[in-house]
Structure 1
Amino acid sequence: MNRRALKNIRNNSIFKNLLVYFVSSVSAIFITVLLQFILPKLITIEEYGLYKTFTLYLSFTSLLHFGLKDGIYLRISEQLKLNLRENGIYFSTVILQQLGVFAVMFIIGFFFQGVFRYFFFALAASSFFFILNTYYDSLYQSRKEFKVVSFLKIFKEAILLTMVGAFFLLQGELSLEQLLLFFTISICVTFIIYTLKARPFLKFAIPSKEEIRGVVFPVYRRGVGLLAGNFGNQINSNIDKLFVSSFLSVSAFAYYSFGGLFFVLTNTLVGSVSTVLLPYLLTDYKDKLNSTYRRLLDITTIFGLLLFIYVLTVQWIVFEFYPEYNRSIPIISLFFGAMVYNMKINIIQNNYLKTLRLDGSYVRNNYLILALFLAVLFAIFFWDGDLQWYAMGTSFFVFSRYKLNQYSLNKKMAIPLSPPWQDTFLWSLAIVLYFLTNWIYT
């Protein structure tokens, strides 16, 4: 990269912040990867399967803000100057609502016994702090202040890794209950730091009747539609894992989730980076949507090469150090297509659909693909298909959702379709990766 290109990035706020946030997110993901490689050595395959089930459920219970957080994010992203009174109302509403959700989930835990009771208690507490942390994420990201979010992202993962490592070194063993406790503590401590940092923006404010109608209700109204789309987006990314965990054995899910772990980590990275884009599209770049879209398509296509190398590296690590999970290696390669196109969907398309107020398309596209994918999953199950077929189906339907979103965007404002060479290039990488995997490891 020449000096002129570097200067252009430094002078371009959106791409500069994308780069900064990407680096911090990669750092956090690196810590997460370390933990995920350590855990299979500390706990049994069955416990690992239950832990992955916990994190899977958390990804869905984190949507129990009922659209409030999404509506708030869009509202304050559109404000050139933060309205402190409105934000106080939003903050108060989030706190009261999530206390109610926490109470319901905690009570549900008493209907279970043993480890599953502890499972639900941890899920209730983690969901509560997780949603409040995402409110703080939205607050700072909407103001284009990404350093705080970046630091706490790294901090949360680092403190969890430190607690797990220190406890294991001192005790020589780690139970699932202890792991869930440490996970919850890491989110809680992050919440405390966030709250202290955000004090200048926070005031507990009870809205008047007029403010309920004019401030709270519009946020819910827009947020509920976005939540429906976000839920469809979330479940599309996880329906295969939900299906395998529900209909196959715990050990089969452990192998599958270990293989899918690296797709999930990539998806987590992409999801965090994608939040950088929306405030800019709503303000600074609202008159440059087409040219920005083309540039982002090119960047994410080139990034596919890094994902190709990433998958090869992960496969070698699994083969050398985790022989008990060698069954997961081909699964990792089959998630490559899902990794690449999910990146394009989350970073580019979802933000453009929200910016252009294509909420209906955002919802319809997600659920249409979901219905088709679910039918295919049942077909694989009844035909007793190998675990690899579930991963292959995930990549195919993520790609299908990408093409459907492109159609919706192009119909709205002639957003360009991706050049044919990009899809040809990426799927060629996917095919080469799969056959290379089978040649080396089978």
Structure 2
Amino acid sequence: MNIKLSNILRNFSYTLVANFLSMIISIVLILIVPKFISAIDYGYWQLYIFYSSYTAYMSFGLTDGIYLRYGGKEYSNLNKPVFVSQFWLLVLFNILVYFIIIISYINNAVDYNKIIVVLLACISGILVVPRSLLNFTLQATNRIKEYSLIILIERLSYFILVILFLTFGLDNFEHLIISDIAGKSLSILYAFYVSKELVIGKMPKIYITLNEIKTNISVGSKLLIANLASLLIIGIVRFFIERNWGVETFGKISLTLSISNMLMIFINAVSIVLFPTLRRTSRESLAKIYKTMSTILMVILFGLLILYYPAEIILSNWLPHYTESLIYLGLLFPMCIFESKTSMLINTYLKTLRKENMMLIFNLITVCLSFLVTIITIYILNDLNLTILSIVALLAFRSIISELYVSKILNINLIRNNLFDIFLTMAFISITWFFNFPLGFILYLICYTIYLLIKSKEIANIIRGFKIFSKGNI
């Protein structure tokens, strides 16, 4: 086995373990928390997770720029003093920004519980944004082991505290949020330890730091806005669901989204390792790798959709109070197909090819479409079913137009593959909506078998592609 493949597999093993444990923790929390807390408390907890997912974007592209500029570099060769000054300026900036947000919200809010949610989400942001500078630097310089441990410490601490609180009957949403913040705090301490040269040390002259910040923001702002727009595609729909149908319905739909998104934890593990590796890969080999990985990914993901029926049966019996929302699981389950492809393959390739501007354009187009569709389905039609179905449609639209662009750059034809993906997704949604187990299970299994037969030649090429990869011909 060549050294390059050995390093990739070793790094992947670190992220695999960390993200696999994170996925197990997420599954357990998804199953346990709604069982022991009220639907309204679960709604506020999900609202905190929703808000805190946006606080991480208060770096204004600084950390994203570091990730792009230093991707593939060696950690030992970094100009550490420049990172130290950027880190502490980012800390001070975020304290100021979130203080203003908290004061502004308190002066205008009427829901006391939402005030608590916003306050704690801002505290989370103060912790997460500076840590992202360290995380991105570790990822970019291929220190995947340390990055994985940071994530693992956060998730394990969070999980243990949630279980302890629930065990002692502390079952309100505030304690769940405190558990999350405590986990983030402990992970930051470890991040400080493994990258202390980026936190403590002599700082350069201010003009050097400002020039570096300007460059990083200039490079990273497009990626940050692209990622933020990506989050808004679903975020806009979720925001208006909460506004129109309330916190409790928001929580129930969020539970279904969380179940559908569990596979993304594993997919993100792959993309973390893939980016610095592709940055070191020749342009000629990128097309071969893309086609091979796309085939592997889609065959696996469509196969995993079979898990819907046992999951729906188990969850309906375990969480009877959420049976009403679990009927939407069949509509949302396929979202992992398009989100996974976009996150792991398409966006990773766009970043590798330094086409962040196109990623931004595709995401902004889809955000505008999301806003338009949401207004129609919620405020004109007032139809929750169509609103939820629109999430999958929007993610599919963004994935397809982005992949068509990547395929044009790589000079490969993927239109046929996209048509098969759309057909099988529509078949799955239709079958799960109209047919229960076991007939629905059998019908989808037949469709998936036909899909495998059609893709048999591409599946056969996977073995050839892996042989090329293992010999180091990339």
| TM-score, scaled to structure 2 | 0.83
Aligned partner of 1:428 in structure 2 is 427
Of residues 197-206 and 316-325 in structure 1, the stretch that sits farther from structure 2 once superposed is 197-206
Of residues 20-29 and 218-227 in structure 1, the stretch that sits farther from structure 2 once superposed is 20-29
| Matched ranges for 1:176-255 at <5 A | 176-208=173-205, 211-212=208-209, 215-255=212-252
The 1:10–1:214 alpha-carbon spacing in structure 2 relative to 1, beyond 3 Å, is: closer
SS of structure 2 residue aligned to 1:249: helix
Aligned partner of 1:137 in structure 2 is 135
Using the alignment, how far apart are the partners of 1:17 and 1:313 within structure 2? 33
Aligned partner of 1:21 in structure 2 is 15
Contact 2:83 2:198 in 1 (8 A): no
Aligned partner of 2:450 in structure 1 is none
Aligned partner of 1:162 in structure 2 is 160
Amino acid at match of 2:141: R
Using the alignment, how far apart are the partners of 2:6 and 2:289 within structure 1? 11
Using the alignment, how far apart are the partners of 2:39 and 2:76 within structure 1? 48
User: Is residue 363 of structure 1 aligned with residue 363 of structure 2?
Assistant: no
Report deviation, 1:176: 2.0
Of residues 335-344 and 308-317 in structure 1, the stretch that sits farther from structure 2 once superposed is 308-317
Amino acid at match of 2:85: S
Using the alignment, how far apart are the partners of 2:101 and 2:210 within structure 1? 33
Using the alignment, how far apart are the partners of 2:382 and 2:263 within structure 1? 26
Report deviation, 1:398: 0.8
Amino acid at match of 1:280: T
Report deviation, 1:415: 4.1
User: Is residue 40 of structure 1 aligned with residue 57 of structure 2?
Assistant: no
The 1:102–1:311 alpha-carbon spacing in structure 2 relative to 1, beyond 3 Å, is: farther
Deviations 1:224-261 (A, max 9, x none): 11111111112124332122122222222122112112
Report deviation, 1:366: 0.7
Amino acid at match of 1:98: V
- Residue segments in structure 2 that go unaligned for 5+ positions in a row: 441-474
Aligned partner of 1:76 in structure 2 is 70
Contact 2:238 2:250 in 1 (8 A): yes
Contact 2:30 2:259 in 1 (8 A): no
| Matched ranges for 1:387-406 at <5 A | 387-406=384-403
Of residues 349-358 and 428-437 in structure 1, the stretch that sits farther from structure 2 once superposed is 428-437
Using the alignment, how far apart are the partners of 1:191 and 1:73 within structure 2? 18
Aligned partner of 2:53 in structure 1 is 59
Using the alignment, how far apart are the partners of 1:17 and 1:415 within structure 2? 29
Report deviation, 1:219: 1.1
Of residues 338-347 and 195-204 in structure 1, the stretch that sits farther from structure 2 once superposed is 195-204
Using the alignment, how far apart are the partners of 1:98 and 1:311 within structure 2? 43
The 1:310–1:82 alpha-carbon spacing in structure 2 relative to 1, beyond 3 Å, is: farther
Of residues 74-83 and 291-300 in structure 1, the stretch that sits farther from structure 2 once superposed is 74-83
Corresponding pairs, count: 433
Aligned partner of 2:151 in structure 1 is 153
User: Is residue 375 of structure 1 aligned with residue 372 of structure 2?
Assistant: yes
Name the % identity: 20
Amino acid at match of 1:96: L
Using the alignment, how far apart are the partners of 2:328 and 2:171 within structure 1? 28
Amino acid at match of 2:301: G
Of residues 287-296 and 22-31 in structure 1, the stretch that sits farther from structure 2 once superposed is 22-31
Amino acid at match of 1:224: S
The 1:177–1:425 alpha-carbon spacing in structure 2 relative to 1, beyond 3 Å, is: closer
**RMSD (Å) for aligned C-alpha atoms:** 2.7
Amino acid at match of 2:427: S
